[in-house]
A and B are shown apart, each in its own frame.
Chain A
Amino acid sequence: MGTNRTALITDASHPAAAAIAARLESEGITVINNYPRRSNKSVIAEVGDDYAFDTWSLADMKRLLDMIISNRGDVNYLIHTDNVILRARLEDITEQDFKRALDYNAKSAFITTKVFGEHMAQKGDGTIIYLSTLHDEKPTGCAFAYSTAKGAVKMLCKEIALFYGRKGVRANVIEADYMEEQRESLDSLISPFNYDAETKIPLRRLVKAQDIADVVSFLISKDAAFINGADIRLDGGHVLYYGDR
């Protein structure tokens, strides 16, 4: 598979994005990399398929879709990778930071789905993958607005699996554990869950970018043609470790 197929990675700055892109490109899929949260909202590379549009802006995403269609044709896979861990306590976070965390993580999923999901539904074919976190179920103890947003994304996926599923577009969530690059962002003073994780994870290591790329590759393949609305936990069994104190 992969002939004339195109995937959009919504936030190519995710630590797993490069591995995902390499894996998809090795399968013959054209990968469009987007870099949100940058001031220059235009093509950021002379050669290639890199863009810098804000994923939580409907106007930006419509413009991105138009540019991709113009340059490359249809989008077949939406891979939502926006994953901004904003460390803050509920007790004293500002209104602005709360909204920012929700926009970066949840609104970006909603807006990209609204634009690219509808685009794929009109073709009657496509796959949406939300690269999320196990913190859509397990609280972080350090980034409440982040997990609140990811809880919303989990339900977005289920609603979309119904709504766009009827139009030939599948949607699934990957609930990944944290990668080495995200370790400090999820360090909590009130929850020891992520502390010394390698000794708690039965498989004795953190998730790697390649693990995530493998699941993404599987979910867009024909082998996963009947998987829709699923939450695929990718944590080596980490959440099974209960009662850490």
Chain B
Amino acid sequence: MHELSPAERELTLLDLLDRILDKGVIIIGDVTISVANVDLVYLGLKVLLTSVDNAEKLRGNREQGNREQGNREQL
């Protein structure tokens, strides 16, 4: 998981968020202080993800990898 392109890393982060914020052992009870904004953040992310075009980004990044490097050198 450590030799990934930026787009693949981003997708991996999205996959992580889908798991860590939404799944796993869920503990609800009087003694639990769940961080209140986790659900809100996840909800917000889902809205964001819906508008993110992952396929295009991934393909774009693969094709534009060299060009971006060129651009960075100019900066």
A interacts with B: no
Using a CB–CB cutoff of 8 Å, the interface residues on chain A facing chain B are none
